[in-house]
């Protein structure tokens, strides 16, 4: 099956770094219904590619499918934030029987196709200048690399094994502002971090056991990053991509 038209769209809007044929990567059967229960939100992708979402909003689905932060979605009507859906979507039978694992990019292409088919979703990306925080490494970065899939022993706890790009995403959620990785450090590192929120609540990452208990003397997360990990957050103004909704409608009936 020719994928040239699909590849042209990918080159234009840069939705995926992998050249996949969207005509092939679709769910064979999908049930989309208004959520009637109080459970959720919850989402799951089984090994065979079956996608299940309970009590999920369309905003949740869009941000998942396109790999964006919530604040990077623009132009959407307000109902996508409140109306909840139950979704069960199955890939072709051969895929389910094989229980083969798809890459995350392939799974998200299927979900994007579902959003186009059932919600008539049409989007485009555009650059927007924003104030962000960038994560940079001091000359004396204190992070250590894991050995044989585990962090070096420490009385502080097991540690969190993460890349700097993934750690930046974690920090984005913690500080409530976009954080981009500019450490220039590839690979994975072991993170153990203690800090105190602006409300005086002790928090930690990669710290376990009794040592995870409250420590009122822990510094702010900005100071903790420098003191404990040799990293720092710096403000910066730069162009980032946002996703703009051109058209969306309530889902078609099953």
CA-wise closest residue to 41 among 92, 88, 85: 85
Contact between residue 213 and residue 157 where contact means Cβ atoms under 8 Å apart: no
Distance CA 200, CA 128 (A): 34
The pLDDT value recorded for residue 254 is: 63
Among candidate residues 48, 123, 49, 118, the one with its CA nearest the CA of residue 86? 118
Q: How confident is the model at residue 107 (pLDDT cuts 50, 70, 90)?
A: confident
Q: Residue 62: pLDDT above 90?
A: yes
Nearest to 61 by CA among 115, 110, 125, 120: 115
Instruction: Report the mean per-residue pLDDT for the chain.
Output: 84
**Residue predicted with more confidence, 149 or 252:** 149
Contact 170, 135 (CB under 8 A): no
For 176, residues 6+ apart whose C-beta sits below 8 A from its C-beta are none
Comparison of pLDDT for 3 and 134, the residue scoring more: 134
Q: Is residue 67 scored above 80 in pLDDT? A: yes
The span from the CA of 143 to the CA of 206, in Å, is: 12
Give residue 217's pLDDT. 72
- pLDDT (tens digit per residue) in 127-163: 999 899 999 999 888 999 998 889 988 888 899 999 9
Which among 32, 111, 122 has a CA at the least distance from the CA of 67? 111
pTM of the model: 0.64
Residues 229-251: pLDDT tens digits?
999 999 999 998 999 999 999 98
In angstroms, rounded to a whole number, what is the distance separating the alpha carbons of residues 122 and 229? 42
Q: Residue 123: beta bridge partners?
A: 245
Residue 253 burial class via C-beta count within 10 angstroms: exposed 0-12, middle 13-18, buried 19 and up? exposed
- Average pLDDT of span 210-239: 84
Q: In what order do the strands lie in the sheet with 122-137?
A: 73-74, 231-247, 122-137, 179-181
């Amino acid at each position: 099956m020719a994928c040239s038209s699909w590849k042209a769209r990918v080159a234009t809007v840069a939705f995926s770094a992998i050249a996949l044929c969207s005509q092939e990567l679709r769910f064979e059967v999908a049930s989309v219904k208004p959520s009637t229960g109080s459970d959720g939100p919850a989402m799951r992708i089984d090994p065979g590619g079956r996608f299940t979402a309970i009590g999920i909003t369309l905003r949740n689905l869009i941000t998942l499918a396109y790999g964006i932060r919530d604040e990077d979605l623009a132009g959407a009507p307000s109902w996508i934030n409140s109306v909840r859906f139950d979704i069960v979507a199955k890939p072709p039978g051969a895929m389910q029987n094989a229980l083969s694992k798809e890459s995350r990019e392939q799974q998200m292409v299927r979900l994007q196709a579902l959003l186009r088919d059932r919600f008539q979703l049409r989007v485009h990306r555009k650059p927007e200048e924003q104030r962000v925080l960038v994560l940079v490494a001091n000359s004396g970065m204190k992070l250590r690399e894991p050995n044989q899939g585990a962090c070096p022993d420490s009385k502080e706890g097991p540690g969190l094994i993460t890349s700097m790009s993934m750690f930046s995403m974690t920090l984005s959620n913690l500080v409530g502002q976009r954080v981009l990785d500019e450490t220039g450090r590839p690979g994975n590192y072991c993170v153990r971090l203690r800090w105190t929120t602006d409300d005086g609540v002790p928090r930690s990452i990669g710290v376990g056991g009794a040592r995870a208990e409250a420590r009122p003397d822990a510094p702010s997360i900005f100071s903790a990053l420098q003191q404990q990990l040799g990293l720092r957050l710096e403000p910066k103004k730069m162009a980032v991509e946002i996703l703009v909704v051109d058209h969306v409608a309530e889902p078609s009936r099953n």
